[in-house]
Amino acid sequence: MFTSTGSSGLYKAPLSKSLLLVPSALSLLLALLLPHCQKFFVYDLHAVKNDFQIWRLICGRVICLDLKDTFCSSLLIYNFRIFERRYGSRKFASFLLGCWILSALFDFLLVEAMQYSFGITVASNLPSGFLAPVFALFVPFYCSIPRVQVAQILGPLSITNKTLIYILGLQLFTSGSYIWIVAISGLISGLCYDHKMLQVHQVLCIPSWVAQFFSWTLEPIFSSSEPTSEARVGMGATVDIQRQQRMEQLDRQLMLSQFAQVRRQRQQQGGMINWNRLFPPLRQRRNINYQDGRRSEQQASPPLEVSEEQVARLMEMGFSRGDALEALRASNNDLNVATNFLLQH
């Protein structure tokens, strides 16, 4: 289970939804119905440099001509939609736009550096598509999303909630001969923008009036409805596992509803969320449901010791220390559970 990116589909992520639908549809259209028009969407740096075909910097870096790249980049955009929920659509769009512009500059620099430093002549055509910003999103993904172990394989090797996304990125990285140039330029631009080097985040940003215009015109088209609280529960190997999965699902739904109610009260009254009202029954309910004959504790257990490393990870994501401490204590030091509730609300 890979829960670092949430489980609410494309809710509150209209920009991610548009990046999934529009470029993918155009890629399929060019590949199946209009193959003779693909020449207008080739990312040809030599044509840009020698023939001043500046328009290729736009057309050649929006639509993927390789369907494998389209598929992999779409999956990555879907997984990275959590950043649009966290930052907001305007800030997320500013990050993508800034990295898209910066990566074009780094593409030229890398190609010229390979030619003059190592004597390697790179092919004139680089992989087309909205690839550099996708690679740039790996920077905040690596820095701000906590790594939670899901399964142990061999010794130090383990599967985490981020393994699948890294595998997809590796697949995209190895899909072409020169895609590594686009990948490196995307990572460098992501580092520059995420770490606010040379104040590029203030120069390359979406103006507020542009964000409002697209919010009025396009957001109603690409917005998604709020997901229902009822979700499918996976079939376990035994009846006990199925019952445990069902009870965990009910616990999650109950805590979500309680959290939403307390959050509304917090907006009216002010102050910090009282997490102790939300989570203490969790362990008691599990004891009642999963252990026959055992009675739940009559009094709440003393506060658990929380790892400062886990608190630091949550604070790096923008949450206050108080909320991070309370969420970790309430979730029995389960960083995955605490992160999901803090991110999704």
What is the reported pLDDT for 286? 45
Q: Name which of 14-18, 85-89, 300-304 the model is least confident about.
A: 300-304
Half-sphere exposure of 303 (CA within 13 A, CB side): 10
Query: pLDDT of 163-192, one tens digit each?
Result: 999 999 999 999 888 899 999 999 999 999
The answer to whether residues 325 and 196 belong to one domain is no
The CA distance from 131 to 258, in Å, is 40
Residue range 278-307: mean pLDDT, rounded: 50
Domain final residue pick, 173, 208, 223: 223
H-state helical runs in 206-279: 208-217, 219-222, 239-269
Instruction: Give residue 284's Cα distance to chain centre.
Output: 33
Half-sphere exposure of 163 (CA within 13 A, CB side): 13
Residue range 276-295: mean pLDDT, rounded: 46
Domain count, the chain: 2
Residue 293 has pLDDT above 50, yes or no: no
Q: DSSP per residue over 49-77, as a string?
A: HHS--TTHHHHTTTS-SSHHHHHHHHHHH
Domain final residue pick, 223, 249, 267: 223
Where residue 328 sits, what CATH number does that domain have? Answer: 1.10.8.10
The CA distance from 342 to 331, in Å, is 12
The answer to whether residues 217 and 313 belong to one domain is no
Quick one: pLDDT band at residue 224, thresholds 50, 70, 90? confident
Q: Provide the residue range defining the domain that includes 321.
A: 307-344
Domain final residue pick, 195, 223, 251: 223
Q: DSSP per residue over 151-182, as a string?
A: EE-STT-EEETTHHHHHHHHHHHTSSSSHHHH
Q: How far is CA 45 from CA 52, 66, 102, 125, 277, in A?
A: 10, 18, 15, 7, 59
